[in-house]
Structures are given as C-alpha cells and as structure tokens.
Amino acid sequence: MPPIITVENLRKSFGETHALAGVSFEVEQGTVLGLLGPNGAGKTTVVRILATLLRADEGTAQVAGFDVATHPNHVRSIIGLTGQYAAVDEKLTGAENLQMVGRLLGMSSATARDRSAELLERFDLSDAGTRQVGTYSGGMRRRVDLAVSLVGRPSVLFLDEPTTGLDPASRLELWSITRELVADGTTVLLTTQYLDEADELADRIVVIDSGKVIEEGTADELKDRTGGRSLVIEFATAEQLSAAAQVLETLTVAGAVNRIEAKLILSVPVEQDTALAARAISEISSAEIPIVDFHLHRPSLDDVFLTLTGYSPASDSSDQADSKQTTKPSAGIAS
Amino acid sequence: MTTTQTVTQEQPLMKRPRGMAAIWHDSRIIAWRNLVQLPRTPGLVIFTLIQPVMFVLLFTYVFGGAIGKALPPGTTYAQFLIPGIMVQTIVFGTSATAVGLADDLQKGIIDRFKSLPISRSAVLTGRIMADAIRLTAVASVLIIVGYVVGFRFEGGLGFGLLMVLTAVSFGAAMCWVMANIGMAVKDVETAQTAGFVWLFPLTFISSVFTPVYTMPGWLQVFARNNPVTLVANLLRSFSVGQVLPGATWTSMALPVALWVIGITAVAAPLAVRRYRRV
C-alpha cells in the first residue's frame, strides 16, 4: 500500500526566515507519525501546508494521492485539523459548532444533529453540548475542537500540538482518544514538543529542527542511535566517587567512565552487557566504597532530543514525571 | 484510485452542492452562525442599538435648536436628522465586519473554515449577509426612535422601505471594504481602530448632521462629493417622498447606485482574493 501522506522536499520562507528548508517524509496508512521539534522548528508550517492552509514555495505534498497544491478541495474532504489553539466558535454552543460543520460538509439538518449528538456523547460532552464553548475548560475545548474535526469522518487527522497547555488529566484523555481513532483506522500526523507524547503515541517519529529533518525512526531506534545503556552509580562524597572511578579503571568498559561530580554520579557505558554492570558494582563493593544508589539508564527521548538538536527539550524528564501525577500546569511549554 | 473510493463510500450522508448553489448553501450557514452570535455579544448589541438612540437624542435636543435655524423653513431638525443619522449609524456599524473577521482570523476559525471543502467566498458573503440583516435591525430601531422625536415618513411606507433598502445596500458595500481592512490588520484591537477612525471625517464632513452650505468652501468640495452626502440626501428625499429642488429621482439615485455597485465591484473581489491568502 502506498503511503497516505507523502512530503517531498518542502520549502517555505517567510521573508528572511526559512521555516522549511527541504522537508521530506512519508506516513503509512493507519499509523501515527510524530513530528517532533522545538518551537519554531517548522512543525506547524508542515501541517498548514498539508491542510491546504498555506502553499509551499517548493516541493510537493500529497494526501491520499491528491496533491495539496493542485487538488486542495479533494484533500480537504479527507482531512481533519485540530490546531494548537482551539478553532471553535466560543459564542456557539458545542452542539452548534458540530452542527455547523456538519451542515457545511453537506449533511441535512437531521443528520448533522445526529452526528453532533454522537460525537458529544463519545467525547463526554453531552451535558456541556448546550453551553457556549466560551464557558468550557481548556480540556473540554480541546475535546470539542477534536470532535469538530471528526464530523466528516476524516481518514487523515492532523493534530497540531494537541495537548499544549492542557492539564495532565486532559492530556491522558486526549491520548486515549487518539489511540481509539487510530484503532479505527485513522491515520494521524501529530506535532508535539513533548517527548513523552511522541513516545506514547507515535509509531514513527520525525525529528525536525530549523526546518530540516534531522532524524527519523521509531522511538526505540532513535534511543538506540543516541547510545546504549549505562550504569549510573551515586555516591555520598567526592572522595568515594574518585576512589570508585579508580577501581573501575581496572575494568574494560565500552567507553570512558563519565564523572558527574556535581551530582556525585559515575556513569559507566555498558551497552547490552549486564554482566559487566554487575561486575562493576561488585568491584566497588569489594573495595568497601559505599554506594548510595545505582541503576541501569536507557537513554530517554530527552537525551535523543538534546543530542540531536543541542536544545534542551520542552521540559526535562523529571518535570514530566512530576506533571503526570500532580496537577502542575505544563510549566515547560516555553522553551 | 482506491483511496478515494473508500472515502466516498464512508460519507454517503454528505452531498455538497456545486458551483453557485454551493456558495449560497455555505453562505446561509455562515450567516446563521454570525446571527446566532449577535445576541450573545452584549458589547455589539449595545454598540449597535444604544449608540444610535443616544445620537438621535443628543443631536435633537443639544444641537437641534442651533442647527435647525440653518434649515429651510418648514423642515424640522428631526426630519433632517433621522435619514442622516441612519447613514452615519449604518456606516459606523460596518466596522463590526472588520472586527469580526479579524477576531475569526485571530482565533483560528478562518483556518477551520479553510480546512473544510467549502466555497472560498462563503465565509465573507455569509458574514456580510448577516451584517446586512443586523444593519436592517439598526435602521428599524432608528426609525422607531425617530418617530418618538417627531420624524415621519411623509411620502408613505413605500418610500420608507426604499429608504431602508438604500441605506442597507450602501452599508453592505461598505462591509466589503471593512472585510479587506479586517483581513489586512488581522487582530481585533487594530481592526477596532483601523475600521473606525476614518469614519469620523467620512460621516461628519457630509450633509449628515448639518447642511453643507454652512461649511467653509474648501470643505464643501469634499462634503458635496462624499458618497455619504449623496446617500443622506437620497434618504431625506425618500423620507418626504420628494426630490430636492432642481433635482430628479434619477439625478439623485443614479450616483448612489453607482457608488454602491462601484465600491462592491472593487472591494468584494479584493476581499475574496485576500481571504484565499490569509
């Protein structure tokens, strides 16, 4: 089966700014592609071109075999778009928004009403359906926005930073909705600056930065490319750390032992060799150097992102771990 | 192509009309959307309804005594003022088109519409249809207040309807100009200013509030050729059912018709073109 989205060498400049400097990728039908990159990387520009809102300066893009530049109306009847900022009418109720789009797509009033009721039910908005969207919470707004983009049962869905600014509970909810849609056969192109989001949802990830694709693959492939596992050992004092580092010099390890003195941590590259990790711990114990803590560290997408782009990711891993359990608002939006 | 077949099979309930029928279909839905919004936007309701009432009362009772003396004998200030203030209010009311479109752009609603397989001009024609209905409501409120302060349709109801129709047609033409402004500035605050400031000279340097002959000569040149003056004079003639001395219905109505058609013919295609690019 040919890919449902094909993007070839897209270029777009806004004045002096080169938003896209030759982006190419493909998306297989029924999969989720995560377009990952920092703010200003060009993610939204790609989505706007694919959604026929913007014309590329160069290059081609096709959705379901239709060129977005020459057959925009065909593309529009296949796609759904949920933007970073909820593009629903705040003055209309949730139901009115859904019915308006249904009617615009050519449904009769009755069909549009049924479809609206069905979607409100599915997105747990039945009670809120008669209220103006302006009164909705952020999560409800994002849900109604997604519902509006699904009125015409699109086979390709663009989610442009769908969870930016959402509280953790709404975020998880949106993730599960996305998974359901994919299970129903919808192809999803997701842009995000959250690494865990790409990790959770995307079958394949395209990392873009400064308008260029800099890496592509599954989350696991990306992690592997950034480097293998390492043994991380924490000590109580700098002296103990130095002593342990000397002990480890007698061992043959895959690469240089990395001392992170500020955190009193030694990082020992061990790749797949868990026996080596066990031996390192045992040698240090034999030398009677107390160990505070140790664990095997697999590179996270944060490490991948940092290695690839040189930027700090949108939010560091500890921040994200926190935000999953607490109601801390997404502190890491601005990067 | 197999993909397209699947898509059409999945959407048997949706039948979009084509060509002109599509523009009409989509415009009606967009117009409905804009009209539903109206009572839910208190600021706009006040601006639309309270302001003209205030203007009528202020001008009648504050300036009426002074300006009334400059009018031909037998003409009351209310009879002079209401047609003029109808043009002024409607012209001011068109700035809501600029603000509304800028708001839609800012909020991403235009992006939503543009990502749907709908007619490209319907978002504009639908909005302006709704605006024309809003302006008709404004004109009706003005007539009611006018009757309170002494204005009468001296030429009968038929001329009264012509008066409202002419005012709203000129308003609709101005809405197309405002649509261009709204899409050019792209944000609500700028649209509020850009769609408003130039309306003061446009409406005040005209026969709306005072007879043109009372102005300095250099200003009279502008005032006499100002389309707002032409519309105000035509509305006055409709309100009493007779033309100004030395004029005919053709000499009064034709220039107004040409202005309405001319403004629309230039501003509407420009607005549609701009819409495709925003």
Q: What is the pLDDT of residues B72-121, one digit of tens each?
A: 887 888 999 999 999 999 999 999 999 999 999 999 999 999 999 999 89
pLDDT at residue B2 above 60?
A: no
Kindly state whether residue B147 falls inside one of the protein's structural domains: yes
Say yes or no to pLDDT of A130 above 50. yes
DSSP A264-321: TEEEEE-TT-HHHHHHHHHHHHHTT---SEEEEEPPPHHHHHHHHHSSPPSS-HHHHH
Nearest to A132 among B1, B3, B40 (CB): B40
Q: Is A45 on the interface with B (CB under 8 A)?
A: no
Q: How many structural domains does chain A have? A: 2
Does residue A260 lie in a domain region? yes
What are the DSSP E strand ranges found in chain A? 5-14, 17-27, 32-36, 58-63, 66-67, 79-82, 156-160, 187-192, 204-209, 212-217, 230-234, 258-260, 265-269, 293-297
Residue-level pLDDT at A125: 94
Locus of tokens 């940092």: A306
Q: Give the pLDDT confidence score for residue A50 in this predicted structure.
A: 95
Express as a percent the part of chain A with pLDDT over 90: 53
Residue A288: which domain range?
228-297
Q: Name the average pLDDT for chain B.
A: 90
Residues 6 or more apart whose CB falls under 8 angstroms from that of A273 comprise: A254
Structural domain contains residue B215: yes
pLDDT of A323 higher than 50: no
Going by pLDDT thresholds of 50, 70 and 90, the confidence category of residue A267 is confident
- What is the rounded CA–CA span in Å between residue A109 and residue A96? 11
- Residue A100 has its nearest CB partner, among B25, B29, B111, at B29
- CATH number of the domain within which A86 lies: 3.40.50.300
Residue B5 lies in a domain: no
pLDDT value of residue A334? 36
Residue A327 lies in a domain: no
Residue of B95, B58, B63 whose CA lies nearest to B211: B63
What pLDDT does A298 receive? 75
Mean pLDDT of chain A: 85
Query: 10 Å Cβ neighbour count for A49?
Result: 24
Which residues on chain B are in Cβ contact (under 8 Å) with A79?
Answer: 115
Q: How far is A225 from chain B (nearest CA, A)?
A: 35
Question: Domain boundary at A182, A199, A224, which?
Answer: A224
Residues of A in Cβ contact (< 8 Å) with B35: none
Preferred mutation among A77, A98, A104, A119 to probe B, highest tally of B CBs within 10 A? A104
Same domain, A107 and A238: no
Instruction: Please list every residue in chain B whose beta carbon sits closer than 8 Å to the beta carbon of residue A87.
Output: 107-109, 111-112
Alpha carbons B232 and B226: distance in angstroms, whole number: 10
Tokens describing residue B15: 């039948």
Q: Do the chains contact at A81 and B36, CB–CB below 8 Å? A: no
A with B: how many residue pairs have Cβ under 8 Å apart? Answer: 96
Render pLDDT for A15-26 as a digit per residue (tens, 0 to 9).
Answer: 888 899 999 999
Amino acid at the residue A181: L
Using pLDDT thresholds of 50, 70 and 90, give the confidence band for residue A311.
low
- Asked if residues B115 and A79 have their Cβ atoms less than 8 Å apart, the reply is yes
Residues A110 and A217 in one domain: yes
Report how far residue A59's alpha carbon sits from residue A48's, in angstroms, rounded to the nearest whole number.
14
Q: What is the mean pLDDT of residues A185-203?
A: 90
Residue B262 inside a domain? The answer is yes
Nearest CB to A65; choose among B1, B26, B116 = B1
Find the mean pLDDT for residues A138-166.
91
What pLDDT is stored for residue A89 in this prediction? 94
**Among chain A residues, CA nearest to B5:** A64
**Cα B97 to chain center, whole Å?**
9
Structure tokens at B77: 């200030």
A151 reaches B (C-beta below 8 A): no
Q: State the virtual CA torsion across B33, B36, B41, B44 in degrees, nearest 10.
A: 80
Under DSSP, is residue A132 helix (H, G, I), strand (E, B) or coil?
Answer: strand
Q: Please, which residues 194-213 of chain B have a Cβ atom closer than 8 Å to chain A?
A: none
Our CA-based measurement puts residue A6 at a distance from the nearest CA of chain B, in whole angstroms, of 14
Contact B13 A108 (CB under 8 A): yes
Report how many domains make up chain B.
Answer: 1
Residue A255 pLDDT level (bands cut at 50, 70, 90): low
Q: Is A58 on the interface with B (CB under 8 A)?
A: no
Residue type, B61: Y
- Return d(Cα A196, Cα A219) in angstroms, integer: 10
